[in-house]
Chains A and B, each alone.
Chain A
Amino acid sequence: MQLSDIKEGSRAIINHVGGNAALRRRLHEMGIIKDSEVYIEKYAPLRDPIELIVKGYHISLRVGEAQEISVKTVK
């Protein structure tokens, strides 16, 4: 499952971050790494970008970028 498939208001565990090298590295540096938990806070009014909460802070990504991140859902 990709991060872009997760509904607003739910949690997910990062499985693998894909995409080009610059994006991967940037996401990793911002703390979006394997096994860390993210919370999907909301989608922007035009459904892109997405706002996430990770490691206690808020971050936004484009949907295209979220599609590169595979996740596991949590109950």
Chain B
Amino acid sequence: MQARQLTIALAGNPNSGKTTVFNTLTGTRQKVGNWPGVTVEKKEGTIHKFDRELKIIDLPGTYSLTPFSIEEIVARNFILEECPDVVIDIIDASNLERSLYLATQLREIDCKVLFALNMADLTRSRGIKIDAEKLSELLDLPVVFTIGNKNKGIDNLLKKAIELAESDHNIIQHRKVRYSKDIEKSITLLQSFIEDQPRSSLAYNPRWTAIKLMEDDQIVQKRIRQQFGAGGEKIIAQSEVQRKLLADRFDDDAEIIMTDERYGFIAGIIKEVYTTSTRQRVDLSRNIDLVLTNRFIGFPIFLLLIWGMFQLTFSLGAYPMGWIENGISIFSSLINSVLPAGMLKDLLLDGIIAGVGSVVIFLPNILILFFCIALFEDTGYMSRAAFLMDKIMHLIGLHGKSFIPMLMGFGCSVPAIMATRTLESEKDRILTILITPFMSCSARLPIYIVFAGAFFAEQAGTVIFSIYLAGIVIAIISGRMFRSTLLRGADAPFVMELPPYRIPMAKSLMIHMWDRSKMFLRKMGGIILIGSIIIWVLSAFPKNINYSQNYSARIAGINAAYNQQIAAESPQQKTILEKKRDIVIAEIERAGKAEKIEKSYMGKIGKMLAPVFEPIGIDWRGGVALLTGFIAKEIVVSTLGVLYATGDSVESEALGKALQSSGMTGMGALSMMVFVLLYIPCLATVAAIKKETGSSKWMIFSIVYSTGIAWMFAFLVYHAGRLMGFS
């Protein structure tokens, strides 16, 4: 027999321990994706228990179901449209009064609800007593105590949920929230008005619809217009009349009065079920906060923690990065020795392994970074960080939480962009994603070192510092500009809960870390793979190049000549000669490579683009290097090495000399650095932007904007410098 299928939705306030309960229920059998059309995370998991197949859905954490934020819309729509068999409202028992606000709203929708009074242990230790039976009786729904992080009461919760889902429990009207006489009168009037309208079918319960119309709910109004046609306009007009009536009587908007009355209703319940012992206990969380958000040491501690996170991510991460790198090179040489020479081998080695390999090595960074972020979030420190930084970030029109992704941008834009997931508002998220690439990532540093070292020997440090600073300034200006144009709209209210500090659960941290990494490997893999192949094709084709000279013949000739000499010499001389031979051959090979790049499609594109780079003082070789920088910024220096005849090892001094003798000027070098700072981020970053904004539109915008800005500033720097008499 097929097991019965039930859908259970978990609703609740943020920080109510909802995710912990979800993790305890589903363990590793959970699937993380996005809700359709929005970038809000959707988590679900299917488990088999009590002979049933239970599909458990973690709704976004919300304080209410008014459709103001995407999370609230997503949660409400799921309950209204998908009609889960039962909704479990996870309530932080120590925060009962505010939690009941969402609960009353759930109660008003026609769905089967039960309460999980979570963190029951914490409540007891704080001297709070909740009369669950009374609460159950007052609201006419089952109430269960749970301790999510200790797996207590969870089985009982599931059992009760199944019982409720399979019962033909009718939701009794009079157990719902009652409003004051005037409001009830308006609701009843509107309700019967709705019921009288000719209609095909009414999706939602008429009383709920009436309440929502009284609250000026835009989404319900839209639905009414769709469903009732002309009748809909009449209903809405009627609701306007009632709203006006109440506004006149109470001297305030109906939705505000109704919110107040719900809290009044809640206060009545609290009085009956909630008792707290008068004994004042030490509030540990408050004491921790006295230190961590202290006026004098709050910031130093914050900076120390962020510095620690940065160090862990990029310094500790460097070790496994090295191992992965070694692993990839072992794998490459294995393939090199196994496969016969040919196109397939080139594609595999120079295209796929080189391209995908250059991204896979970020995995340790991502793992460590997300471990740290999960730690900050789960302990409750993240909201304190936002509390500390908000004043500063608000200057750019951003939320305090944007600070962490932007800072991570100095290490690597990929994890930085992924870290924007901690931002609740979509606009803040997109804005932060757009400006984070201007934080100069660590892969760009070697480029600055080469150019600043060669052209500004004494002031190299100052020049590089100024480049970093320029990035920050341009990020701030861009941020302000976007905020007042593309991403306009009132700032989301900052109103943010500062939850008590909690000890994080290892299981949650692991799940969080693993989810991110999986997403990184899977989704990035696709785009990076395709991108790598394209770039490889551009640099490896056309195959039949008309070389200016026959390099292999020359190499063979030189080889033969030296070998003849070597054979005649003493053993001592032999080694010297062998070295000499190798140097000469390497030089010719490099020249051959340079010509190959020059004549490849990539080189041709570079030369074609020469007119674009010429006004900013960069020659075609610089242009080609910048193009290859799209795969990864690390490649820019090695491409330059090949093109400027200094070998593809990253010997910055030799390269610097070659750059100087090639006719590049100091202003050209500065312009190059500015361009590198600002232009199109690497392939992995572009993939991350697409993934996190959920649209190609923003990805393309970011590419065009950053490259346009880069060219503009490079041009300004180059010509302003020349006008001022620098060369």
Contact = CB atoms under 8 A, between A and B. Distances in A.
Contacts of A51: 293, 387, 498
B393 to A, nearest CB: 11
A30 to B, nearest CB: 6
Interface residues of B, number: 39
Interface in B239-277: 253, 255-256, 259-260, 263
The residue in A24, A29, A61 that gathers the most chain B C-beta atoms within 10 A of its C-beta is A29
Contact of A60 (B255, B490, B494): B494
Contact of A28 (B259, B394, B494, B500): B259
B95 interface: yes
Given A60-B494, A61-B495, A22 B68 contact: yes
B252 to A, nearest CB: 9
A1 interface: no
Interface stretch (B36-44, B294-302, B310-318, B668-676): B294-302
Contacts of A27: 493, 495
B64 A45 contact: no
Contacts of A61: 493-495
B97 interface: yes
A45 B294 contact: yes
A25 B263 contact: no
Contacts of B394: 48, 62
A51 to B, nearest CB: 6
Interface string B369-403: 00000000000000100011011101000000000
Contacts of A33: 259-260, 263
A55 interface: yes
The residue in B98, B296, B383, B493 that gathers the most chain A C-beta atoms within 10 A of its C-beta is B493
B438 interface: no
A57 B253 CA distance: 27
Given A51-B387, A62-B394, A65-B495, A30 B66 contact: no
A46 B259 CA distance: 33
A26 B256 CA distance: 10
B391 A46 contact: yes
Nearest to B261: A33
Given A45-B294, A62-B394, A55 B98 contact: yes
A58 B111 CA distance: 31
B68 A60 contact: no
Contact of B494 (A22, A34, A62): A62
Contacts of B388: 44-46
Contacts of B296: 45
B182 interface: no
Interface string B465-504: 0000000000000000000000000100111111110000
A31 to B, nearest CB: 5
Contact of B256 (A24, A31, A46, A47): A24
A17 B257 CA distance: 12
B613 interface: no
A62 B390 contact: yes
Interface string A2-46: 000000000000000100111111111111011010000111111
B287 to A, nearest CB: 12
A48 B496 CA distance: 13
B95 A29 contact: no
A29 B101 contact: yes
Given A33-B260, A33-B263, A45-B294, A57 B387 contact: no
Interface in B45-76: 63-64, 66, 68
Contact of B493 (A41, A42, A65): A65
The residue in B95, B97, B387 that gathers the most chain A C-beta atoms within 10 A of its C-beta is B387
B465 to A, nearest CB: 25
Given A30-B63, A51-B293, A62-B390, A25 B259 contact: yes
Contacts of B63: 29-30
Contacts of A59: 495-498
A36 to B, nearest CB: 8
A33 B98 CA distance: 12
B387 A28 contact: no
A26 to B, nearest CB: 5
A31 B66 contact: no
B495 A25 contact: no
Contacts of B259: 25, 28-29, 33
Contact of B391 (A30, A34, A48): A48
The residue in A20, A21, A28, A34 that gathers the most chain B C-beta atoms within 10 A of its C-beta is A28
B19 interface: no
Nearest to B496: A60
B524 to A, nearest CB: 35
A21 to B, nearest CB: 7
Given A34-B260, A48-B391, A62-B390, A26 B95 contact: no
Nearest to B295: A45
Contacts of B495: 23, 26-27, 30, 59-61, 65
Contact of A26 (B68, B298, B387): B68
Nearest to A8: B295
B306 to A, nearest CB: 15
A21 B101 contact: no
B299 A25 contact: no
Contacts of A23: 493, 495
B66 A42 contact: no
Contact of A44 (B66, B387, B490): B387
Contacts of B256: 17, 24-25, 28
Contacts of A42: 293
A39 B387 CA distance: 17
Contacts of B383: 60
B255 A44 contact: no
B333 to A, nearest CB: 55
B276 to A, nearest CB: 9
Interface pairs A-B: 10 shortest CB-CB? A46-B391, A58-B498, A28-B259, A29-B64, A48-B391, A62-B494, A23-B493, A55-B97, A45-B295, A26-B493
20 contacts: A20-B490, A22-B490, A29-B66, A29-B259, A36-B263, A41-B286, A44-B298, A44-B388, A45-B294, A45-B295, A45-B296, A45-B298, A45-B299, A45-B388, A47-B391, A48-B394, A49-B390, A58-B289, A61-B494, A65-B495
Given A30-B98, A55-B95, A60-B387, 17 more contacts: A17-B256, A25-B256, A28-B256, A29-B64, A29-B101, A44-B387, A44-B388, A44-B391, A45-B295, A45-B388, A48-B390, A49-B391, A58-B499, A60-B383, A60-B496, A65-B494, A65-B495
Interface of A: 17, 20-31, 33-34, 36, 41-49, 51, 55-62, 65
